[in-house]
Amino acid sequence: MATMTDRRHVAGLSRRTLVFVAVLIVQTLCAVFFVSEILVSLLGLPIAPISWQVHELIEIAAAVGLLLGVGVGAYMLRAAVRRSDHVESQLRAASGAFMELLEDKFDSWALTPAERDVALFSIKGLSTQDIAALRETSEGTVKAQTNAIYRKAGVSGRPQLLSLFIDDLMEGPLG
């Protein structure tokens, strides 16, 4: 079920998209006007004569349209950068929350420093062989530490271990 904030966000995106498309159309028409004027002059194409006042007004309108496009484009770029910064901030908060959650779980399970390293590498998806190489130990040692981690966490394998953290993160808002 969509919340009111979600609906406002979608409506805001729709409005922004419509404004962007409208400005893009105006800029395209203005550019077509200027390019066609140059082509008419270069190729000597016959056109119906219009008064110079009307011609000047059309040129002014086209130039204003292009300037409007530059202004709206700059505004939209600034808004996109702000949204990107906000999302990056949220990701940093989520990453920090996940690391806090890891530390809390590792503390509650009373993992040794070596087991903490192995658990973290395991959660990151590294194989037993990769973990052994990184820690400069044998695969047998890593397997023994992994089994100790699973026993202390009350799980039977890596997928269940990872699901413990995912379930905890999904319980409430981050940050």
* Alpha carbons 171 and 168: distance in angstroms, whole number: 5
Predicted confidence band of residue 4 (pLDDT cuts 50, 70, 90): low
- Co-location of 8 and 84 in the same domain: yes
The whole domain housing 76 covers: 1-90
Choose one of 62, 90, 118: the last residue of a domain. Answer: 90
- Co-location of 174 and 124 in the same domain: yes
Q: What are 96-127's pLDDT values in tens digits?
A: 778 888 888 899 999 999 999 999 999 899 99
3-state secondary structure at position 125: coil
Query: Residue 8's pLDDT is what?
Result: 62
- Co-location of 1 and 83 in the same domain: yes
- Co-location of 130 and 84 in the same domain: no
Q: How far is CA 21 from CA 26, 27, 34, 72, in A?
A: 9, 10, 20, 11
Q: How many domains does the chain have?
A: 2
Q: First-to-last CA distance in the chain?
A: 23
Q: Are 43 and 8 in contact (CB under 8 A)?
A: no
- Co-location of 78 and 151 in the same domain: no
Predicted confidence band of residue 166 (pLDDT cuts 50, 70, 90): confident
Q: Which amino acid is at 78?
A: R
Q: Are 118 and 131 in contact (CB under 8 A)?
A: yes
- Co-location of 115 and 84 in the same domain: no
Query: Residue 92's pLDDT is what?
Result: 78
- Co-location of 113 and 38 in the same domain: no
Q: Which two tokens stand for residue 37?
A: 């004027």
Query: Residue 171's pLDDT is what?
Result: 67
- Residue 67 is assigned to a structural domain of this protein: yes
- Co-location of 143 and 79 in the same domain: no
- Co-location of 14 and 62 in the same domain: yes
Q: What are 36-90's pLDDT values in tens digits?
A: 888 988 888 888 788 889 989 989 999 998 898 899 889 989 988 999 998 888 8
- Residue 1 is assigned to a structural domain of this protein: yes
- Co-location of 9 and 40 in the same domain: yes
Choose one of 29, 60, 90: the last residue of a domain. Answer: 90
- Co-location of 6 and 71 in the same domain: yes
Displacement of CA 58 from its chain's centroid (Å): 41
* Alpha carbons 32 and 62: distance in angstroms, whole number: 9
Query: Residue 10's pLDDT is what?
Result: 58
> What value, to the nearest 5°, has the Cα angle with vertex 143 and ends 139 and 144?
120
Query: Residue 112's pLDDT is what?
Result: 94
Query: Residue 150's pLDDT is what?
Result: 95
Nearest CA to 171 out of 82, 101, 104 is that of 101
- Residue 102 is assigned to a structural domain of this protein: no
